[in-house]
Amino acid sequence: MSDNNIGFVGLGNVGAKIANNIISTGYKLYVHDLDEKKSKNLVSKGGIFCKSIEELVPKVSILITCLPSPKSVKNVLLKCVPLFNESHLWIEMSTTDEQDMKYLSELVFNKRAEVLEAPITGGQHRAESGNISILVGGSRESFERSFPILSCIGHQILHCGEIGKASTLKVVTNYLASINLLALGEALMVCKKYGIDLKTAFEGIKISSGNSFVHETESQVILNGSYDVGFTMDLVCKDVGLFDKLTKKYLIPAELSSLMLEIFQRGRENLGDRALSTSIVKLLEEKCNDNLRASGFPSYLEDKNQKQEAEEVII
């Protein structure tokens, strides 16, 4: 099947970057967002804005959604389902609830259409460069059909198995990233109070067993003071809440999960829904009456690598 007409719903911080990589590769892209202004850049490159879901779906064979919450995904898909037929493939790229994903997938399968979940991971800067990683759940046939599109979006692409497994794995990775963020704030504050230069501390952690992707990226914008990772407090609370829900479902006594959820909820109450997720460190800075600033760190993250050829991660 030739999938030349692509639909994209959700042009937020990450969605707009993904959509830009698709249109830059030559596909005909139809887009929709509640805020039409977010489509201006894509329209200037040949994208076509549709004022409604009902207008968009009949024009495309592949529909991609990248939305902020499980509720948003559900609201959009319930509008799409009556319009789907056997030619359609829905690719969901948000971080969403695995139970909701399975429920919505069944509705789509009943229309004889195809479904993939394909959440991305690796940060907004890699979403922009097209070097993001993608976790994919769904049939092997749908995975192979989607691979040319996913290749425009990302670099390393892993087929995780059936629907639900990629969503769950993405929630797990976001949990690990979030707990690492909290730990880094505390670690850097210990260094600051002890009198270790924070540039030295950054490099020391980077070359040590304590290094991580989060340290190499998010620590930089914390030390700069911008905290700019393009990811907000409401989203991190959603993600860690989804992980905590899984621990309760499987009766796992996950003490760290409950504590982390409490900390981020406190951050959301104090800083607001749209505060940057990394600004959770501000709460620690305020309590310590100190800051974690150091010169020479960027105010935003940038992937300086060229787009790398997409590859399936073979297990």
**192 lies in the same domain as 63:** no
**189 lies in the same domain as 113:** no
**55 lies in the same domain as 97:** yes
**177 lies in the same domain as 41:** no
H runs (alpha helix) in 87-164: 98-109, 124-129, 140-153
- Residue 153, domain CATH: 3.40.50.720
Mean pLDDT of 22-46: 96
pLDDT in tens, 297-307: 999 999 999 99
Band (pLDDT 50/70/90 cuts) for residue 107 is very high
- What's the pTM? 0.96
**120 lies in the same domain as 187:** no
Judged against a pLDDT cut of 70, whether residue 43 lies above it is answered with: yes
Q: Report if residue 223 sits inside a domain.
A: yes
Return the ∠ at Cα 214 (arms to 210 and 219), rounded to 5°. Answer: 90
**53 lies in the same domain as 99:** yes
**211 lies in the same domain as 187:** yes
- Residue 193, domain CATH: 1.10.1040.10
Judged against a pLDDT cut of 90, whether residue 101 lies above it is answered with: yes
> Would you state the pLDDT for residue 203?
98
Number of structural domains, the chain? Answer: 2
Q: Report if residue 297 sits inside a domain.
A: no
**255 lies in the same domain as 230:** yes
**13 lies in the same domain as 90:** yes
> Would you state the pLDDT for residue 2?
77
Band (pLDDT 50/70/90 cuts) for residue 181 is very high
Question: Residue 41 is part of which domain span?
Answer: 5-162+304-312
Average pLDDT value over all residues in the chain: 97
**131 lies in the same domain as 266:** no
**29 lies in the same domain as 128:** yes
Q: Report if residue 299 sits inside a domain.
A: no
Q: Please choose, from the candidates 166, 169, 165, 189, the residue with its C-alpha nearest in 3D space to the C-alpha of residue 177.
A: 169
Mean pLDDT of 5-10: 98
Mean pLDDT of 109-118: 98
**184 lies in the same domain as 277:** yes
Q: Report if residue 296 sits inside a domain.
A: no
Q: Report if residue 298 sits inside a domain.
A: no
pLDDT in tens, 237-267: 999 999 999 999 999 999 999 999 999 999 9
Cα separation, 24 vs 271, in Å, equals: 37
Judged against a pLDDT cut of 70, whether residue 1 lies above it is answered with: no
Judged against a pLDDT cut of 60, whether residue 214 lies above it is answered with: yes
pLDDT in tens, 84-97: 999 999 999 999 99
